[in-house]
Structure 1
Amino acid sequence: MDTTFRKPAEAAPARMGPLAVLPVFLTLEGRRVLVAGGSDAAAWKAELTAAAGARVEVFAAGPGQVMAKLEEAGTLRIIRRNWTEADIDGAAIAICDAEDEAEAAAFAAAACTVGARWNVIDKPDFCDFQFGSIVNRSPVVIGISTAGAAPIIGQNLRRRIEAMLPQTLSTWAALALRIRQRTLDLLKPGAERRLFWERFSDLAFSRTVADEASAEALIMAAQASAKAPGHVTIVGAGPGDAEYLTIKAMRALQAADVILFDDLVSTEVLELARREAKRMMVGKRGGKLSCRQDDINALMVRAALAGKHVVRLKSGDPMIFGRAGEEIAELSAAGIPVDVVPGISAAFGLAARLGVSLTHRDHAQSVRFVTGHARDGSLPKNLDWKGLADPATTLVVYMGAGTSRLLASRLIAEGLSGGTPVVVAEAVSRPEEAIRAMTLGALAEQGAALGAAPVLIGIGRCFAEARAASRGEAALQIFSHCA
């Protein structure tokens, strides 16, 4: 393996993709809103804009009961006649429940003429803006739009977000408004302020009641912590699918100042990181130019001593063939705090993909994870081959594509049947995933193809139960031909 130093590559900043609509939040406090029509649908839009502080005027010759009750409650004023173009003049926004397309077109044209933004209910072709689904934890307000394509999806998403957000979030957000100036006065820009707001946000999502004393304690803690050196979080990114990330991993990525990531980490995972974080690719790949481990260690130490929160992002689980032990030892020797966030190892992703239990009681009483190559790229010489060849053991080989023929031949020589089921998986859980089924004898003859994607080899009787059905395919018994 070539160990020539490769300068860490800085990842390009995340770029915004195309937007069907621009999400904006409009201040309506004290501004005039015109609503044309007295229907229940119009009443809902009128009540919504009034809740945002607008002065709502409704033009309707015959307002419905819901609209009339809003007038009785003092929410809005009703002018009992049909709208005219002159009525729209001076309105911040104009809303109409049109009877037909002719009225919709006339209303849109009139609003455009006087410079108001317009919305014709349930007629997106005549709208200058749309109302989305709303999650209200005011002053936190979340708007959801599908650009009129699928309102039901928007409503479903709103229900999911509602279930995730505590009702107490609104009181924490209100507290944030009250203490904002105090944080500006007491906390230095950069690390101190960000640390405070990160911890404040954690409390806001803890479903506890907001109070001034908690905020004061956080301010003092941020002042004290900012004077200490930074720290490192070693995070498992999983095999590739971003949905395998843990909540704790997500929080670490969102709090990072610097992210040092392996080149096996997927783009989808990196997209979830804090956009302001400096990203550096320090990938280590067998047979390719790579950053030396010493250089990676030095980068982490230097950034942490500068007060940064460093996330060392590793594919799979960092504690399984991830050299995390070496990094932890180096950081500890430098007096830098380090914590570890476990990830889903590729072996578990493969088991989930195939629907197999690696320790199925009818097939295996143990499971072993081994590396497929030594430092020089050859087959490791100090493995317990007798134990690995135990037919009651499930064996998962990492980084073994290059030595797969030798490994399979050695296992057969140690007594493991050439008919033992084998799966060779590339890019587990990624869109380009490919899984092939064979026997141990076939692996000894053919080997595992060495491509660009990471390869994982599963050997054992449990793989006779493998099914490729986890992504919606019809169940497929891939080892029906095996004894």
Structure 2
Amino acid sequence: MRRIALPQSDGQPRIAALAKLPVFWNLSGKRVVIAGGSDGAAWKVELLQACGAEVELYCETDYLGETMKALVARTAMTHHAHPWHCGIFGRAALAVADCETEEEARAFFCAARAAAVPVNIIDKPAYCQFQFGSIVNRSPVIVSISTDGAAPILAQAIRQRIETLLPHSLREWARLAQTLRSAVNMKLSQGGARRLFWERFVNRSLSTNEPPTAATVDQLFANAGQIASESTSGSVTLVGAGPGAAELLTLKAMRALQAADVILFDDLVSAEVLELARREAKRFLVGKRGGRESCRQDDINDMMVRFAKAGKRVVRLKSGDPMIFGRAGEEIARLENEGIHVDVVPGITAASAMAASLKTSLTHRDHAQQVRFVTGHSRNYELPRTIDWLSLADANQTSIFYMGGRMAGQIEQSLMDNGMKSGTPVVVVSSVSRAQERRWAGTLCNLAKGMQTIGVDEPVLIGIGDVFGDVALARAQLVQLTSKKRVKRIEFPF
């Protein structure tokens, strides 16, 4: 039978074709029959009992698996210690069976159909009128995933991804919402006030792992009469986007992106990170790149203030960590001076991503007792005059220069002028964690030449210190990675 999608007035379907209709069925107090004593049948018993179904099991005792035996012993299900027969389906809401043979599966399926009972034969899609999807359980919030039986492993992977996004405390927040609806309708006027209340409720429920308490309810209703007048008050969240790979984004950062009305993002934020943002959010590129036309910091500050005062939830999305060379201090000061609420969500800074990519500990106890993050340029795009080069030349530390590509020659000379050995190991990594990542490994006296090989068109990190000596020793391994196209290009001058 051909499926037909409902057309809109413009001729386009309102709903795309569905392989199956997702239905949430109330089984509380309903009779469900199950045939078979396998572990697969036992899982279905647990699932159905969790829904409040009255399960009746038909299986000879000798054929019960250990899991099913334990369920029979500790739960209220009815066990009929004999095989199923055609008379078991009366008043049943569902029928489930685990059948070893095709003949038995067909017989059970036909018997259930004849009794007008929806039927599922475990692991035999041809004999299933309905299917059990992968479930994310935050009841009363329930998410079910189905691939129409085509790819159960894919469904499990999707479930695991959703599990990481939904706090376990969401079930308590959802139950609280059920009890609050009448009180909200009584205390708050219809329209903007109620909408704002529930927006705050939802934002809090999705951003915490703590269940609500009586104090939570009091806080939610505090100054309830003023909610409407506060509708013009927005907020700003400074969010660290990490070094580029979307998988390195934190869960809290993802939730902030999903709740944003406006996103002001840096030039270095990857497209795959932006893909995770709320679709309806307005996005503005406010990138600042050395040697290129850039958005002025004052203009960015003005935009954040303007949008926040218009009642918008603004996300200032910064590459790496917003508190590491991200001008967060200037932005926070301006927002607080304007009376705008501001939060910060940390991100994985590029130096950590570089260490992970190289599998190199920045504080290996045999080589470095401290690590320093150093900016490679000042406001005027030159080396800061306040850098203590003598202390940076200390051999017992690791130094990571951010945004220092164009200053590589000066960094090399300044360190050697202050006593650092010319043979000190150095690595340069551009576009760390991204598909176009490139690496160069050498010694300090060759840093400027190495930078010419890597180039300065992509964001660059320079790592200096004895911890990077192992990079040269791992040359063969890295060359092997290149052959597998896991690393675009690796340069070794020695």
TM-score range, shorter chain: 0.7 to 0.9
* CA 1:481–1:277: 2 relative to 1, 3 Å: closer
How much is the aligned-residue C-alpha RMSD, in angstroms? 4.9
In structure 1, the partner of 2:485 is none
Range with greater deviation from structure 2 (326-335 or 403-412): 403-412
Q: Which amino acid aligns with 2:344?
A: V
- Quick one: structure 1 residues 155 and 329, their matched pair in 2 at CA, closer, same or farther if it must change by over 3 Å? closer
Instruction: Give, in angstroms, the shift of residue 315 of structure 1.
Output: 0.8
Describe how 1:400-415 pairs up with structure 2 within 5 A.
400-415=404-419
1:98 matched to 2:103? The reply is no
Residue 217 of structure 2: aligned partner? 215
1:96 corresponds to which letter in structure 2?
A: A
Of the structure 1 ranges 138-147 and 86-95, higher mean CA displacement relative to structure 2 is found in 86-95
Select the residue among 240, 256, 276 that pairs with 2:244.
240
Distance 1:71 1:349, change over 3 A: closer
Q: Is the aligned partner of 1:266 residue 2:265?
A: no
CA distance in 2, matches of 1:32, 1:226: 46
TM-aligned CA deviation for residue 214 of structure 1: 3.6
Native 8 Å contact 2:245 2:270 kept in 1? yes
* Bigger relative contact order (CA 8 A; separation at least 6): 1
Structure 1 contact 428–434 (Cα < 8 Å) conserved: yes
- Structure 1 vs Structure 2: percent identity of aligned residues? 46
3-state DSSP class of the match of 1:370?
strand
Note if contact 2:362-2:371 (Cα within 8 Å) is conserved in structure 1: yes
1:157-176 counterparts in 2 under 5 A?
170-176=171-177
- Corresponding pairs, count: 454
Decide whether the 8 Å contact of 2:187 with 2:224 is kept in 1: no
Gap regions ≥5 residues in structure 1 = 1-17
Match of 1:7 in 2: none
Greater shift, 109-118 or 226-235, is seen at 109-118
In 2, Cα distance between the equivalents of 1:123 and 1:468? 54
CA-to-aligned-CA distance 1:142-187 (integer Å, 9 cap, x gap): 54668575669949978x969x966x76554333212134335545
Q: Check 1:374–1:46 CA distance in 2 against 1; reply closer, same or farther (3 A cut).
A: closer
CA distance 1:170–1:32, change in 2 (3 Å): same
Are 1:322 and 2:320 an aligned pair? Answer: no
Return the alpha-carbon distance in structure 1 between the equivalents of residues 146 and 277 of structure 2.
23
Aligned runs of 1:116-131 on 2, under 5 Å? 118-124=119-125, 126-131=127-132
Q: Distance in 1 between matches of 2:339 and 2:154?
A: 53
Q: 1:410 to 1:112 in 2, by over 3 A?
A: farther
What residue is the counterpart of 2:346 in the other structure?
A: 342
Which of 426, 431, 439 is residue 427 of structure 1 equivalent to? 431
Question: What does 1:10-409 correspond to in 2, within 5 Å?
Answer: 24-29=22-27, 35=33, 37-40=35-38, 41-42=40-41, 45=44, 48-49=47-48, 51-53=50-52, 93-105=94-106, 118-124=119-125, 126-132=127-133, 134=135, 136-143=137-144, 147=149, 149=151, 154=156, 170-187=171-188, 188-200=193-205, 205-207=209-211, 210-211=213-214, 214-220=216-222, 224=226, 227-228=229-230, 229-246=233-250, 248-274=252-278, 276-360=280-364, 363-364=367-368, 367-375=371-379, 377=381, 379-380=382-383, 382-384=385-387, 386-387=389-390, 390-392=393-395, 393-409=397-413
| Alpha carbons 1:35, 1:42 under 8 Å: kept | no
Helix, strand or coil: the match of 1:402?
helix
The one-letter amino acid of 1:263's match is D
Q: Which segment is superposed worse, 230-239 or 40-49?
A: 40-49
Report the secondary structure of 1:403's partner residue. Answer: helix
Shift of 1:437: 0.8
Alpha carbons of structure 1 residues 193 and 398: separation in structure 2 relative to 1, 3 Å:
same
Measured in 2, the distance between the counterparts of 1:89 and 1:291 equals 72
Aligned AA (2:174) = A
How much has 1:215 moved relative to structure 2? 2.0
The one-letter code sitting in structure 1 at the alignment partner of 2:201 is: F
Deviations 1:91-148 (A, max 9, x none): 7654333341244356667878998754211224544543245565532445466857
Counterpart amino acid of residue 450 in structure 1:
G
Structure 2: runs of 5+ lacking an equivalent: 1-15, 482-489
